Amino acid sequence: MAAPPLLLLKDIRLTFGGKPLLDGAEISVSPGERLGLVGRNGSGKSTLLKIAAGAVEPDDGARFIQPGATVRYLAQEPDFSGFPTALSFVEAGLEAGDDGHRAQYLLDALGVSPDADTSHLSGGEARRAALARALAPEPDILLLDEPTNHLDLPAIEWLEDELRASRSALVLISHDRRFLETLTRATLWLDRGRTRRLGKGFAAFEAWRDEVLAQEELDRHKLDRQIEREKDWLRYGVTARRKRNVGRLARLDDMREQRRTATRAQGSVKLTVTEGETSGALVLEAKNVSKAFGERTIVRDFSTRVARGNRIGLVGANGAGKTTLVNLLTGQLKPDSGTVRIGSTVEIATIDQRRASLDPEMSLKDALTGGGGDTVDVGGGTKHVMSYMKDFLFSPEQAGSPVKALSGGERGRLLLAKALATPANLLVLDEPTNDLDLETLDLLQEMVADHPGTVILVSHDRDFLDRTVEAVIVAEGDGRWVEYAGGYSDMVAQRGQGVQARTVERATAQRAEKPAASPPAPAARKKLSFKDQHALDTLPKRIEELEAEIARNEKLLADPSLFTRDPKAFEAATDAIGKAASERAAAEDRWLELEMLREELAAG
């Protein structure tokens, strides 16, 4: 006989601004269950999870929790009032009988200093501290809303292992397909205010959803009711896009096989590329490139050759130097040694993690056209703005809507639409999947696949890497970067382990290799020097200042008339962005180096 549910929501109804958000939604969570909660951005997933946590009261419906059952909810904006340090905040979530050591363990694993002042935590640190607080008590039910936000690949894989080993029942909202596929055993789809349950994990969800939508369409035809395709395009257009992507994945497999062959026959490849350089076949070439900041080497003796049409992914832990390597390859940063050659006809467009700013009062149409006309310049030609909007899942009715009325996911799509209309034959994408819903990720995958030039992608999204790139360059530590043919999963198969496991193994091996009877190092350190501790404390603020400086100058460059109106200001803003980006990368790398040293000293 099945165990009674620990948590039950029945016939939940909630209305915002006269429009029903939830209209009969239900959740049932049994002991140890792993449930994925999915749906489009704006469908009410986060609100439903808040109702399950007791943080929001519905207009109607019932909420039941088994007496004595413990629930922990990952809040998007945690309240640190009354907690001076990150450790005190996490420990406050523990109850009598809980393991008091888990607070320290989880903060260390998530890269947050237990002594960190809560009033000075960055957004990412605050988010990770909130995740530690939710996990620490090992509750009966964990309600997690986007737990992988602000986590790098090693941390995501660590979190997967932690949740897989947990006894807690799990209700999970995430836009990370691989994360959902790994952890879920059932899927709850929230659509048009109602929930439908699939008794299988997320891996089976998308095919099932498409079948449901196809059956709905067929039933409507049987009832002789014409489907208003323009209104339903946002929902049904995704299905056709996914089917087209099956063919793209097959072509990507062919590209990967070609790259494997090229890797085995480097001599002939060099001859081919050399012969084609004048026609633009060579995009960039790095030979024995090295770069260090202080005593830390970020890139050591790295060589690669990128040809027209290649799709290359860069992966590694935060602070490994991915942005530094991209800046070296694209000529924004000079190497200490070695050479980088960029093709003479290469035009580069970059979408960084901050992306461009948008005027909240501007209409969607004006944001895409620059405030005038009805067309957008795309791929060397023009396209009507309404058609281009539909390419990015916007309906014609949204053309006059102000940017401030768009959801977070819709703003992400708008930024991508603007950036991808920039003329370029080398597209550099630095964490482009942040805060995008699954449908938008499908769209971005299509945009990357259809891009006529070359793509360099920095991402922590394993599934997206598998779907888009033909080779992966991985940070192996100590400044070494190694290229593997294939996507992320191919790289793991070739290395035998993922990024985190390889990093831990290397650190353990290095400690084991130290001679047992070696003489003590002179002036052995038991704690950070005053200078290093001051740098560790002040670098996060400096990084934030540099990010703000970059954002200010990007806002200036967003003005399309700046170059013609004030060329000197345009040049100054461009130079300032380059200098600030380089300084930010150096500051991030220095902070990581000091944080690792602090942890090593603390461990004895």
**CA distances to 242, 503, 560 from 317, in Å:** 30, 9, 36
Confidence of residue 465 (pLDDT cuts 50, 70, 90): very high
Taking the CB of residue 395, how many other CB atoms lie within 10 A of it? 15
Read off the pLDDT of residues 294-319 as tens digits, 9 standing for 90 and up. 888 999 999 999 988 899 999 988 87
Residue 272 has pLDDT above 60, yes or no: no
Q: At what angle are helices 266-276 and 229-264 packed, to 10 degrees?
A: 120
Does 280 appear as a known binding residue?
no
pLDDT tier, 270 (very low <50, low <70, confident <90, very high otherwise): very low
Q: Which pLDDT value is given to residue 190?
A: 94
Query: Which residues contact residue 37 at a Cβ distance below 8 angstroms, ignoring those fewer than 6 apart?
Result: 27, 45, 48, 49, 171, 172, 173, 188, 190
Lowest mean pLDDT among 363-377, 383-397, 513-527: 513-527
Q: Which residues contact 45 (CB under 8 A, 6 or more apart)?
A: 37, 38, 39, 145, 173, 190
Question: Is 600's pLDDT higher than 80?
Answer: no
Query: What DSSP assignment string belongs to 318-352?
Result: TTSSHHHHHHHHTTSS--SEEEEEE-TT--EEEE-
- Structure tokens that stand for 344 in this block: 């003479």
pLDDT tens column, 189-210: 999 899 999 999 999 998 999 8
pTM of the model: 0.68
Domains and CATH numbers, the chain: 7-213 (3.40.50.300), 263-510 (3.40.50.300), 525-602 (1.10.287.380)
Cα–Cα dist 68/31, whole Å: 13
Contact 123/129 with Cβ under 8 angstroms? no
pLDDT at 436 over 50: yes
Instruction: Using pLDDT thresholds of 50, 70 and 90, give the confidence band for residue 390.
Output: confident
pLDDT at 568: 82
Instruction: Supply 124's token pair.
Output: 């990412």
Position 409 scores a pLDDT of 65
Q: Give the mean pLDDT of the chain.
A: 80
> 430: which 2 tokens?
């630095």
d(CA 604, CA 525) in angstroms, rounded, equals: 10
Helix (H) or strand (E) holding 570: helix 567-602
41 is in an annotated binding site: yes
Whether the predicted pLDDT of 52 surpasses 90: yes
The larger pLDDT score, comparing residue 380 to residue 58, is at 58
Specify which residues 312 forms β-bridges with: 456, 471
Using DSSP bridges, classify how beta strands 480-485 and 426-430 pair: parallel, antiparallel or unpaired.
Answer: unpaired
pLDDT digits (tens, 9 = 90+) for 477-498: 889 999 999 999 999 888 876 6
- Cα 193 to the center of its chain, rounded Å: 27
Q: What DSSP string describes 255-283? A: HHHHHHHHHHTHHHHHHHHHHHGGGT-EE
Band of pLDDT at residue 258, cut at 50, 70 and 90: low
Q: Is 313 annotated as a binding residue?
A: no
User: How far apart (Å, rounded) are the C-alpha atoms in residues 430 and 13?
Assistant: 40
Token pair for 218: 């067929």
For residue 34, the model assigns a pLDDT of 96
Angle between helices 499-512 and 153-165 (to 10 degrees): 90
Is 270 among the annotated ligand-binding positions? no
Is 43 annotated as ligand-binding?
yes
Maximum mean pLDDT: which of 10-19, 23-32, 245-254? 23-32
Structure tokens that stand for 382 in this block: 């023009």
319 vs 454 pLDDT, higher one? 454
User: Within a 10 A sphere around the Cβ of 361, how many other Cβ atoms?
Assistant: 9
Q: What is residue 1's predicted lDDT score, i.e. its pLDDT? A: 52
The SS3 assignment for 61 reads: strand
Q: How many CB atoms lie within 10 A of CB 259?
A: 22
pLDDT value, residue 559: 78
Residue range 102-119, pLDDT digits in tens: 999 999 988 899 999 998
At residue 263, does pLDDT exceed 80? no
Indicate if the pLDDT at residue 286 is higher than 80: yes
44 is in an annotated binding site: yes
Is pLDDT of 388 > 50?
A: yes
Cβ-proximal residues to 345 (8 Å cutoff; 6+ apart), any chain: 280, 425
Six-digit token string for 567: 């060329």
**pLDDT band with cut points at 50, 70 and 90 for residue 166:** very high
Percent of the chain with pLDDT over 70: 82
CA distance 365 to 385: 7
Task: Say what the pLDDT of residue 524 is.
Answer: 45
Tell me what pLDDT residue 374 has: 86
Q: Which two tokens stand for residue 348?
A: 């580069």
Q: Say what the pLDDT of residue 445 is.
A: 84
* % of the chain residues with pLDDT over 90: 34
- Residue 385 pLDDT exceeds 90: no
* Cα–Cα distance for residue pair 48/27, rounded to 1 Å: 9
pLDDT: which is higher, 508 or 86:
86
**Mean local confidence (pLDDT), 142-171:** 91
DSSP tag of 111: T
pLDDT greater than 60 at residue 232: no
d(C-alpha 323, C-alpha 431), whole Å? 10
Q: Inform me whether the pLDDT recorded for 6 exceeds 50.
A: yes
Query: What's the confidence (pLDDT) of residue 279?
Result: 30
168 annotated as a binding-site residue:
no
- Lowest-pLDDT range of 161-165, 230-234, 416-420: 230-234
**Residue 287 is labelled as binding a ligand:** no
Stronger pLDDT, 562 or 545, i.e. the higher one: 545
Amino acid making up residue 476:
E
Mean pLDDT (whole number) for 326-336: 90
The pLDDT, as a whole number, for residue 523 is: 40
Q: Which whole number is the average pLDDT over 337-355?
A: 79
Q: Can you tell me the mean pLDDT for 71-86?
A: 89
Distance CA 327, CA 296 (A): 17
40 labeled part of a ligand binding site = yes
What pLDDT does 115 receive? 92
Q: What is the pLDDT of residue 521?
A: 38
pLDDT in tens, 20-39: 899 999 999 999 999 999 98
Q: How far apart are CA 25 and CA 280, in angstroms?
A: 56
CA dist., res. 575 & res. 102, Å (int): 46
Per-residue pLDDT, averaged over 388-402, amounts to 84
